[in-house]
Structure 1
């Protein structure tokens, strides 16, 4: 298994204070997606979680998981653009 390193970190605002986190790999994304995620259970959330887990196991490219994570973060209004 690998951590599924992204080519570029994804910045998201998390928590009540909206502190910025730099998500650099699929493992960090899974931890965030399974923790305190605003739109947990949405289709994009499920797709991102699945893609990140597959990137960790080496079944998909890490940057495919990164794109899925970005889509979920945008939907949850936590993506810093």
Structure 2
């Protein structure tokens, strides 16, 4: 299990640890991370793009949100 808790962590995973067979949603998630870094996309939208890319390659995603306790 891996907890991704920031745009930076998502970006690192997508850039360096993602399978090479990612498709359209991988490309969209990478762009979303860049947009999140420069403030043109919300963290929630980046999160949705990242989840889409994970599902595209068959990774199970636990989609619970909220503040850490």
Q: TM over 0.5: same fold? A: yes
CA-atom RMSD in angstroms: 1.5
Between the two structures, name the one with larger relative contact order (CA 8 Å, sep ≥ 6): 1
The runs of at least 4 aligned residues of structure 1 exceeding 6 Å deviation read none
Structure 2 match to 1:60: 41
**Shift, 1:39, TM fit:** 4.8
Query: Does the CA-based 8 Å contact 2:23-2:56 persist in structure 1?
Result: no
Go from structure 1 to structure 2 and tell me whether the alpha carbon gap of 1:80 and 1:36 turns closer, same or farther (over 3 Å shift).
same
Q: Which has the higher helix share?
A: 2
Q: Which has the higher strand share?
A: 1
Query: Does the CA-based 8 Å contact 1:39-1:76 persist in structure 2?
Result: no
Q: Can you give the 5+ residue segments of structure 1 that lack an aligned partner in the other structure?
A: 1-19
Structure 2 match to 1:37: 18
Q: Can you give the 5+ residue segments of structure 2 that lack an aligned partner in the other structure?
A: 63-69
TM-score of the superposition, structure 2-length normalised? Answer: 0.79
